Amino acid sequence: MESHAAVIGAGVIGSAWAARFALHGIDVKVSDPNPDAIRIIDEVLGNARAAWADLELPLADEGTISVVESIEEAAVGAGHVQESAPENPAVKIPILEAIAAACPADTVIASSTSGIKPSDLQPSIANPGRVVVGHPYNPVYLLPLVEVVGGGLTHDAAIYRAMATYAEISMKPVHVRVEIDAFIGDRLLEAVWREALWLVNDGVATTEEIDDVIRYGFGLRWAQMGLFETYRIAGGEGGMAHFIRQFGPCLEWPWTKLTDVPELTEELVQTIANQSDAQSGHHDLRDLERIRDTNVAAILKALEANDWGAGRTLRDQRMRLG
Amino acid sequence: MESHAAVIGAGVIGSAWAARFALHGIDVKVSDPNPDAIRIIDEVLGNARAAWADLELPLADEGTISVVESIEEAAVGAGHVQESAPENPAVKIPILEAIAAACPADTVIASSTSGIKPSDLQPSIANPGRVVVGHPYNPVYLLPLVEVVGGGLTHDAAIYRAMATYAEISMKPVHVRVEIDAFIGDRLLEAVWREALWLVNDGVATTEEIDDVIRYGFGLRWAQMGLFETYRIAGGEGGMAHFIRQFGPCLEWPWTKLTDVPELTEELVQTIANQSDAQSGHHDLRDLERIRDTNVAAILKALEANDWGAGRTLRDQRMRLG
């Protein structure tokens, strides 16, 4: 990217976008009304640099991150704008309008929303054809995935330009071709989350027991193959069609709490918070972030050595920077 | 374990149990009416030995695996019996009865069922107090998790003895304290599977796109932390209660297909099979198994170096064998 990236909203997600751009040598202008923004950016940039070292990536000429006074100041002349404001259309839309008024008419404006359809964000935006969703996963400086979604008014060119920008900062863009609420990843995550809340609510398992089932079991599969490729193997010589015919009918058994969501009573919230304290409270938040990042970096390097999946994204990143 | 392990049913799961016992120096007697059983055991044992080499584990005196003529012959004198017959109570119950009639009265009889409650299996079994579920995850010779579940008639001592046996073969037993269909892991997996089927059925995403969203995104988190510990970090300084209060209400949005399951028409089965072929058909089944195993082994070693999660189980395994 020839010009700077604008990052609007500098919470955990926005700050990590800023770090990801800067570590790829791209200057960043950030706008956020929160007086804590500079502190959060510094902390997240520190985490991102540590992850960079864990990944043994060569240091590029790091881009500068400047916190500016207004959305307009950040957006003027930007080559890409990434909006990461709170998850509420009433907050996001005026911000997107201000961005669109200030930046070049063909600059892609991407929202980090994790669930709002771009069609619900873009109608009032000047030149709405350049509005897309670019939904990342936390920690953004480390996980390669970004879901790219267009709305009814989005031009194909904006989709491709957003994907090119994300590839330039060593991400794996997946184009969500059909516009639905929550896209692909959060659909899957929400299904798991709902079921997990039931398990805690019904006293079947604690947060730690559920996490252990994930990280000692299928989580180890999903870091490298997803659901379908894993089940293709499980189908054995009969293949995928055999697997589905055999496994599919189980879905009709009354296993999961299909029709409703546990009420988030104060009691359930406290139960989860207390169980989470018992599970993880001996690490402070900074420790947990470092443990997570060190582990994810080690997994990425292991997959790179095997030339597979997200390890290939890391290899490409090394070549790009080297 | 002083005496041999009996493995009843030698498909992919039973054979992998046999391999896991044998690689820990425990002799195994296997019973399976399938004439292909010996071939399947050989193939799975070959995979398990290769995984052992990938993990750089010291070679113990490998136990012998003998395929015997009957359930009785396998079960007589066994120190632990692992049943891995087809997933149907009408098939499993007579097998469990035959096992119970032949093995010592206090030998734990564990079923590998992935969803049937032990209470539905044990009433007609002699000495039903020793019947438990020990539900593993594929590939059993590599993934540490085993869910241990007791039924209404199960004695606590049988639960603890099963957990001790699994720990002896370097697994991570998680006691599912409340008996529910599908236990913990398959509840979560079924929720994801159902949602993924909808995404394919509705033409939102292909099997490959869904898998990419998993393995370039949250799958990398779940190999090392589960759902709740990850979200604890996402909650930031507000902590877990803050995260739930913020994220919880999203569940009430009409995101997922809550109330039903896509009909598994021949057309949907073929769509999935064809997409899976396009995604993975350039690898044959043996290749895919080796890729999966090499990747999982590399992830386990990476976590071992970080002294975390499933890597600690591997470290313990190395100490046990060394």
pLDDT tens track for A52-74:
999 999 887 999 999 999 999 99
Enumerate residues 239 to 298 of chain B having a beta carbon within 8 A of any beta carbon in chain A. 239-241, 244-245, 247-256, 258-261, 264, 269-270, 272-273, 275-277, 279-280, 285, 288-289, 291-292, 294-296, 298
Residues of B in contact with A216 (CB under 8 A): 143-145, 172, 174, 309-310, 313
Q: For residues A147 and A117, give the distance between their C-alpha atoms in angstroms, rounded to a whole number.
A: 12
B276 to A229: CB separation less than 8 angstroms, yes or no: yes
pLDDT tens digits, A204-235: 999 999 999 999 999 999 999 999 999 898 87
Last residue of a domain, one of A133, A148, A176: A176
Are residues A130 and A231 located together in one domain of the fold?
A: no
With CA atoms as reference, the chain A residue closest to B13 would be A234
User: How many Å lie between the alpha carbon of A76 and the closest alpha carbon of chain B?
Assistant: 31
Which one, of B97, B85, B106, B100, lies nearest residue B12 by Cα? Answer: B85
Amino acid in position A206: T
Q: A33 and A107: one domain?
A: yes
The pLDDT score that the predictor gives to residue B244 is 80
- Residue A254 burial (CB < 10 Å; 0-12/13-18/19+)? exposed
Residues B162 and B239 occupy one common structural domain: no
Of residues B187, B255, B252, the one with CA closest to residue A264: B252
Q: How many domains does chain B have?
A: 2
Q: Which of residues 44-103 of B touch A (CB under 8 A)?
A: none
Q: Is residue B89 part of a domain?
A: yes
Q: Judge whether residue A24 has pLDDT over 50.
A: yes
Question: Rounded to a whole number, what is the distance in Å from the CA of A105 to chain B's nearest CA?
Answer: 30
Look up the domain containing B88 and give its range. 5-176
B107 lies in the same domain as B247: no
B117 and B215 belong to one structural domain:
no
pLDDT, residue B176, reads 98
Cβ burial A207-231 (10 Å sphere, 16+ → b, else e)? bbbbbbbbbbbbbbbbbbbbbbbbb
d(CA A211, CA A204): 13
Cα–Cα distance, B56 to B154 (Å, whole number)? 38
CB spacing of A215 vs B233 below 8 angstroms: no
Q: Which sign, positive or negative, has the C-alpha torsion A244, A247, A249, A250?
A: negative
| Cβ–Cβ below 8 Å for A227 and B210 | yes
How much is the pLDDT for B260? Answer: 58
Same domain, A223 and A83: no
Q: CA nearest B232 in A: which residue?
A: A276
Q: What is the mean pLDDT of chain A?
A: 92
Report the distance separating Cα A7 and Cα A30, nearest Å.
5
CB contacts < 8 A (A, B)? 391
- CATH of residue A216's domain is 1.10.1040.10
Chosen from B56, B91, B116, B187 to mutate, greatest number of chain A CBs within 10 A: B187
Q: Is residue B15 part of a domain?
A: yes
Residue A249 has pLDDT above 80, yes or no: no
Query: Which CATH number belongs to the domain containing residue A39 in this structure?
Result: 3.40.50.720
B213·A256 Cβ contact <8 A: no
Residues 156-185 of B with CB under 8 A from A: 172, 174, 176-178, 180-182, 184-185
Query: What would the DSSP string read from start to end of B149-182?
Result: EE-TT--HHHHHHHHHHHHHTT-EEEEE-S--TT
- Chain A residues whose CB is inside 8 A of the B240 CB are 272-273, 276-277
DSSP three-state, residue B135: strand
Residue A211 lies in a domain: yes
pLDDT > 70 in chain A, percent: 95
The residue with greater pLDDT, A260 or B162, is: B162
Whether the CB-CB separation of A106 and A130 falls below 8 Å is answered with yes
B244 and B151 assigned to the same domain: no
Q: Are residues A62 and A18 in the same domain?
A: yes
| Residue where the block lists tokens 């695996």 | B65
Is B40 part of a structural domain of the chain? yes
- Beta carbons of A195 and B191 less than 8 angstroms apart: yes
B295 domain-assigned: no
SS3 B6: strand
Given a contact cutoff of 8 angstroms between Cβ atoms, the answer to whether A175 and A159 are in contact is yes
pLDDT at A38: 96
H-helix or E-strand containing B303? helix B285-305
Structure confidence at residue B261 (pLDDT): 64
Q: Are residues A163 and A227 in the same domain?
A: no
**pLDDT over threshold 80, residue A246:** no
Is residue A257 pLDDT above 70, yes or no? Answer: no
Q: How far apart are CA A12 and CA B142, in angstroms?
A: 35
How many angstroms away from the CA of B207 is the closest CA of chain A? 6
Average pLDDT over residues A9-16: 95
The parts of chain B modelled with pLDDT lower than 70 are 247-261
- Do B154 and B191 lie in a common domain? no
In a domain, residue A161? The reply is: yes
Q: Look at B146 and A281; give whichever has higher pLDDT.
A: B146
* Shared-domain flag, residues A50 and A191: no
pLDDT digits (tens, 9 = 90+) for B250-305: 555 544 444 456 777 888 888 988 999 999 999 988 899 999 999 999 999 999 99
Chain A residues touching residue B190 (CB < 8 angstroms): 195, 250-251, 255-256
Q: Which of A213, A151, A145 is nearest to A185 (CA)?
A: A145
Query: Which pLDDT belongs to residue B266?
Result: 85
pTM, full prediction:
0.94
Does A240 share its domain with A137?
no
